[in-house]
Chain A
């Protein structure tokens, strides 16, 4: 492959990154329009606790992170729907609980803090072929799940109560959505890190919302934007020796800023010949 993807570690990062870049906005499109944009952030912090726990117990951190994130995401959704805590309060409880647990667990294991760092900020240099297999497999699960449940999830986004009246399994579908979000976070954690993974669920969607007219197009444009940001971000990281996770997310933020600016300028008629 041509520069900057001629090295094997860059190719592994590219494959994992493309899968994550496509899947995170797919899930994010539903979360953003359910006004749960920060769910990915809460799950990311829980995943970090899972990583620290795995390092302490000698379990592959991806498995422990997956278990904690999925369980935590379901618990957040339960708290929200049962009305024990409002959406953002439930999220805050788990976000702070997660990061505190991570700090405590990491402090108990030998060199835990240092070993946990790659998961915090992502570490493409250490992405293994095994990681890539896991990422591709989870990506396949996510795309299949969205293909099957997408219409019903959209019905819930439009109006949850009439979806209930129509007899859709609303609670089960909401649980599935947060579980898929947790799976995405864990899949993305090695590429962009737990602190930045949520950004890939939200920023490409924010851009897609500006460009697309239909919900289907929002999903597609979001995924394409996510993939483009990953490719550009990885190339920039290689070229200037930047942290790849940060470079990818900054690219996504820049894409949003550029789209907003171009749209506003066009709306103001500045570029239109009169």
Chain B
């Protein structure tokens, strides 16, 4: 639940963001924010601009209109980069990489201003903790390519968790992931939100495992078409345990 004691600075804020690839408008007048300790899902049909919005919010892409803030600063000017954890839609080549689970998770400790330093005991502790929280402690010396798809996804989440972020952004992290991995995934996110007051932005089609834990759901279809508690969205007749086909149909009905 959102802390109400003080009007905290949003960890993430987008105001009137617009973006287009060539002549095709992808995002139009997108406005929303994310506050500390909030667990928010960003959902929408294929091609609704979710991934583009995430890339803009993280400063990987410049918006054509509007502006975004990360911890109150423009994304490219943010110096405390380690406060942000990012799990991209698909990591470059992890399954083909000759690397152990532990090596990949350790990458989460490489960050602005101290990437050349050898790891210290605090770094190793954070790595251990991240591995434990996604139940991969036993597999830490295994080659990542030998793991199942769900386990590999958990490695990437552990890599982001190892950075002890105040904001965690995950792009389609549970697509095609087995039930056991989804449950562990849910537990580690809820732990992060509850224990560390971190904010989590989960971009996904499927909300099954986390539907009950969400503070808000933001539905994007080029612009924000719904922003509120999941219960209100359910009241409109759509289950949050949607299969990937259901949501786009519902959005068409809305228009």
Contacts and interface: CB of A to CB of B under 8 A. Distances in A.
Given A162-B87, A165-B81, A212 B110 contact: no
Residue of B79, B96, B108, B115 contacting most chain A CB atoms (<10 Å): B115
B110 A214 contact: no
B93 interface: yes
Contacts of A33: 93, 96-98
Nearest to A166: B111
Interface string A178-209: 00000000000000000000000000000011
B53 to A, nearest CB: 15
A154 interface: yes
B100 A214 contact: yes
A35 B160 CA distance: 24
B93 A157 contact: yes
Contact of A165 (B58, B113, B156): B58
A214 to B, nearest CB: 5
B107 A214 contact: no
Given A157-B93, A212-B98, A162 B88 contact: yes
Given A155-B107, A159-B92, A159-B94, A167 B99 contact: no
B103 interface: yes
Contacts of B88: 159, 161-162
A166 B99 contact: no
A162 to B, nearest CB: 5
A161 B98 contact: no
Residue of A159, A164, A215 contacting most chain B CB atoms (<10 Å): A159
Main secondary structure on A side of the interface with B:
helix
B249 interface: no
Interface residues of B, number: 39
Contacts of A131: none
B91 A158 contact: yes
B143 interface: yes
Contact of B60 (A155, A161, A216): A161
Nearest to A162: B86
Given A158-B94, A158-B104, A165-B58, A213 B141 contact: yes
B22 to A, nearest CB: 13
Contact of A164 (B60, B79, B97, B99): B60
Interface stretch (A80-88, A121-129, A145-153): A145-153
Contact of B92 (A149, A158, A218): A158
Interface string A16-34: 0000000000000000010
B115 A151 contact: yes
A167 B113 contact: yes
Contacts of B173: none
Interface of A: 33, 35, 148-149, 151-152, 154-155, 157-168, 208-209, 212-218
Given A168-B111, A217-B98, 7 more contacts: A33-B96, A151-B107, A151-B110, A165-B81, A168-B112, A213-B98, A218-B98
10 contacts: A151-B110, A157-B97, A158-B92, A159-B156, A161-B88, A163-B107, A166-B84, A168-B115, A208-B98, A216-B103
